Amino acid sequence: MDAGASGDAVLDAARAWLAQDPDEVTRAELTTLIAEAEAGDAAASADLADRFGARLAFGTAGLRGRLGAGSNRMNRVLVAQAAAGFAAYLTEKAAAAQVEGVATDAPPTVVIGYDGRRNSDVFAADSAAIFAGAGLRAVLLPRLLPTPVLAFAVRHLGAAAGVMVTASHNPPDDNGYKVYLGGADEGSQIVSPADAEIAAHIERVAAEASIADLPRAEFELAGESVIQAYVAATATVAPAPAGAAGMNWVYTAMHGVGYETLRSILELAGYPLPVVVEQQIEPDGAFPTVAFPNPEEPGAMDLTFAAARDAGAEFALANDPDADRLAVAIPDESADGGWRRLTGNETGLLLGWRAAQRAADAGASAPASLACSLVSSPGLEVVANHYGLDFHATLTGFKWISRAPGLVYGFEEALGYLVNPETVRDKDGISAAVALLGMIAEAREQGRTLTDLLDQFAETFGFFQSGQVSLRVEDVSIIGRIMAALRAAPPTEIGGVAVESFEDLLLPVGGSGSGADASRDAAEVPPAEIPPADVVRLRLADGSRVIVRPSGTEPKLKAYLDVRGDSAADAAARLAALDAGTRELIAAAQA
């Protein structure tokens, strides 16, 4: 297709999109762009090509992208097509189950939730109406709520599926569409092949019908009882012990939806309410005080640290905007400003220690397990072994972690923790906060702090430290070239330490590949837990580990570094050397 024909095709696609768009804002936006492109404006033509030259892909994370008109943006047309496609998938599965005699004649239930981002409520209502129009029982949660409440509601209502309209901690102009399955999936996020099957239905809807022709019907509005059930279940994660009395702490919702639900749980469980970061406590989809509402981002918790200093707080907690992640901060004289955020691995290991102690004390007859993503700290496996529990490493994402056999606890280093699998089969920043509050309160009874717990963990299990090297690129093909270079010539050393094994997770178990030890090890990487993935894992002679993979959400290459030292200083020195060596390795592969 020549450039002129391509431009004509883009304009045709834009006009067809405009004809079915019910949103006044995106209609006006698109009308202006089309007129400017027709007049020969090169910038407008390039903008249209970006919006319509591709389609926002539906995958195991559902949909996520920038708000705006076009097939490569989040908008009412795209969401309606996604809802109709998902409805067709659920109808098809229900019909197959009836043929097999494992389902009733009742229509499948879909529960829909939404957070405080721009258009989340609109996308959710559109979806509910389309689900109902397709003959499903559609139940919309009564107001903006955290993602974990939706994940809970899927199981609580016995739903076949759930949809959460959220972009979690993405930039302010983004939104997304996260999909869960009930039944045998127990309210976990979708995995392959469901993602491809749903995507095929969405593509068919987009090709064959205008969204104006999609049937719509009245849907149900869930009662407060669903939220009350989540609050009651989460309060039992760690009812406040005596040590909670007088606890002085700070909390931020980061302009998200976490605090209303968290406050109800704190009151029921018996914890003192926190000092809140007033500028960030109410939901606000514009995120006026943070450019990137992710507690991991530099500067995102500056207001939290300031509030903690002013309050003389013992610790501070932060949820991301949809409250599925949790960040923890403690006073630290060596840190700039006197406060530092714990890494996801530090918090994850503390909560894993708590879960392991409780599982061991319970003496369950069935094997209990701890699980984390393969890029998270290897310290969790040490904890599991210490308490005689099973351990599972999975691909990144709670869609995998939540499916680990015998799971009592799971985490990933990106501030995600699953502490209550009988209630929520997904990361849950609210239940994780309650679990951590219980742990801190128990320590306070002994005159100890969260810092003391970190020290005790290191003395008991080892001095683990983790780091990350990220390479952001404009041209994503660079990432592919780097991964190919690493596979073609695996390094023999990093930072002066010999590489003992090189595992390519794209290869089948027992397969062969370039470089020494390039096949996957069936004993270390069970195929049921880790499907083939674009990941390479290097283990070094001193016990250190480097894992390299492309980011699943950003144009980045990520290298995850893990070391275990004889002391905190030794671990820090090992990590610094590994960081420098990894940067050299990536630079050489990029050259």
Q: For residue 98, what are its two tokens?
A: 């009836």
Using CA atoms, how far apart are residues 193 and 417, in angstroms rounded to an integer? 25
Using CA atoms, how far apart are residues 505 and 519, in angstroms rounded to an integer? 8
Using CA atoms, how far apart are residues 395 and 374, in angstroms rounded to an integer? 6
List the beta bridge partners of residue 558: 470, 549
Question: Do the beta carbons of residue 317 and residue 141 sit within 8 Å?
Answer: no
Distances from the Cα of 290 to the Cα of 169, 173, 298, 321, 458, angstroms: 11, 12, 10, 11, 34
Residues 6+ positions from 587 with CB-CB distance below 8 Å: none
Inter-axis angle of helices 224-235 and 429-445, nearest 10: 30
Query: Could you tell me how many residues make up the chain?
Result: 591
Distances from the Cα of 317 to the Cα of 74, 246, 489, 555, angstroms: 31, 16, 44, 29
Using CA atoms, how far apart are residues 177 and 445, in angstroms rounded to an integer? 43
Question: Do the beta carbons of residue 247 and residue 444 sit within 8 Å?
Answer: yes
List % helix, strand, coil for the chain (3-state, nearest 5): 40, 20, 40
Q: Which of 120, 168, 188, 402 is catalytic?
A: 168
Q: For residue 168, what are its two tokens?
A: 């979690």
Q: For residue 237, what are its two tokens?
A: 């994660």
Residues 6+ positions from 191 with CB-CB distance below 8 Å: 60, 399, 400, 403
Q: Which of these, 44, 46, 42, 40, lies nearest to 30 by C-alpha position?
A: 44
List the beta bridge partners of residue 330: 340
Residue 127 C-alpha from the chain's centroid: 22
168 annotated active-site: yes
Q: For residue 56, what are its two tokens?
A: 């926002």
Q: Please give the positions annotated as active site.
A: 168
